[in-house]
Amino acid sequence: MAAPSTFAPRLTAADLDGTVPDLLAAPAIRWGVLGAGNIAGSFSDGVRERTASDVVAVGSRSLDKAADFAAAHAPGARVHGSYEALVTDPDVDVVYVATPHSHHLEHTLLAIRAGKHVLVEKPITRSVAESETLLAAAREAGVFCMEAMWTRFLPHVAALRAAIARGEIGQVRTVVAEFDLAVPYDPAHRLFAPELAGGALLDLGIYPIAFAHDLLGAPETITVRGTRAETGVDDHVALVLDWSDGQQAVLHTSSRAAGPNAATIIGTQGHIEIPRSFFTPTTMTITRADGTTSTFESPTGEGKAYEAAEVARLVTAGATASDRHTWADTVEVMAILDEARRQLGVVYPGE
């Protein structure tokens, strides 16, 4: 008979070595938001509410829209009716590029060529080729550049990595993760429009893929099965990633199904479950082979503040890249996305 499960006392971040950074201790920098859309709103709220930094300027293709955005998410920010005006604003230290990924290369190059540091929403571009162009420009300009893979900076992910490093579940053998979101079909929607680099993979699938890559690195082989929407972009995709020593990731993404958006890391001596939504601030439960369990609960609040605070620290220190989400990480994840699209026959306009 299996030993009864023993629930260990709730562990603190310190117990799990999952350092919860003091967001307010990060230096203050001045953010400029490029593209007054949905995610730019929550990012700006996080910066203003949880860090010492401020959003000092907003750039939109429409001055009225920039003003509305500032009123809602960045009171007092200077408003610009073009992205060109935003990137030349002398009061902006770092530009946060929050346009659709089809336009990340063009809009990020604008900022880099104006000498600005950049944080670019995920995925950094549509493809490895575009990423390499973007990163080469950042290298040449000597500016800070990072893809906004905010999950990597969340407290429960730090706790997860610390627990794995301590051998709490033995050796990691399998990562199971999905991000399935039911989005009403609309050929003009960001998730379905080829001209906006639509598809579940680049928008949603990047989360489980980057998560598996964070724990296991670049895979040896990539096997993909899936379907495409009427517009030709992927909409329901299963991926199996294999590593040479037998480790596997079993991942799924969909714009047509409503999933739990959970992740499980299975090791030789236990497993770790991260419930909905594994890529946002949430809980993490370790179940060991002896039946004992421990749970870590993330602080609440806008999670994009963690990446924003990290960028503030790095830029102030004179760094040009993050060692937690490196340029190599960005390109390796992009390479998995490229290969998945190749296997499904998804090609974007101009490729």
Ligand X SMILES: NC(=O)c1ccc[n+]([C@@H]2O[C@H](COP(=O)([O-])OP(=O)(O)OC[C@H]3O[C@@H](n4cnc5c(N)ncnc54)[C@H](OP(=O)(O)O)[C@@H]3O)[C@@H](O)[C@H]2O)c1
Q: Which residues contact ligand X (rule: CB under 6 A)? A: 35-40, 60-62, 65, 98-101, 103, 121-122, 148, 150, 190, 203
Task: Give the nearest distance from C-beta 18 to ligand X in angstroms.
Answer: 21
Specify the length of the chain in residues. Answer: 351
SS3 breakdown of the chain: % helix, strand, coil, rounded to 5?
A: 35, 25, 40
Query: Considering the complex, what minimum distance in angstroms separates the CB of residue 269 from ligand X?
Result: 33
State whether the Cα torsion 198-202-203-204 is positive or negative. Answer: positive
Report the C-alpha gap between 274 and 261 in whole angstroms.
9
CB 41 within 8 A of CB 72: yes
Shortest CB 150 distance to ligand X, Å: 5
Provide the minimum distance between the beta carbon of 141 and ligand X in the complex, in angstroms, as a whole number. 22
Helix (H, G, I), strand (E, B) or coil at 19: coil
Q: Which is nearer to ligand X, 99 or 294 (CB)?
A: 99
Instruction: Using the minimum distance from each CB to ligand X, give the nearer residue, 99 or 231.
Output: 99
CA distance 45 to 62: 21
Quick one: 173 or 324, whose CB is closer to ligand X? 324
Least distance from C-beta 37 to ligand X, angstroms? 2
**Helix (H/G/I), strand (E/B), else coil: 135:** helix
Q: Least distance in Å: CB of 223 to ligand X?
A: 25
DSSP string, 206-247: HHHHHHHHHHH-S-SEEEEEEEE-TTSSEEEEEEEEE-TTS-
**36/175 with CB nearer ligand X:** 36
Contact 294, 185 (CB under 8 A): no
Give the residue with the Cβ less far from ligand X, 65 or 161: 65
Could you tell me the smallest distance in angstroms from the CB atom of residue 35 to ligand X? Answer: 3
Two tokens, residue 121: 């929403």
Residue 154 or 169 with smaller CB distance to ligand X? 154
Q: Which residue is nearest to ligand X (CB)?
A: 37
Cβ proximity to ligand X: between 61 and 166 the closer is: 61
Of 61, 92, 87, 90, which Cα lies nearest the Cα of 74?
A: 92
318: left (phi over 0), alpha (psi -120 to 50) or beta: left
Q: How far is the CB of 142 from ligand X (least distance, A)?
A: 25
Measure the CA–CA gap between 71 and 270, rounded to whole angstroms: 49
Q: Which is nearer to ligand X, 99 or 248 (CB)?
A: 99
**Is-contact 143 116, C-beta < 8 A?**
yes
Decide: helix, strand or coil at residue 185: coil
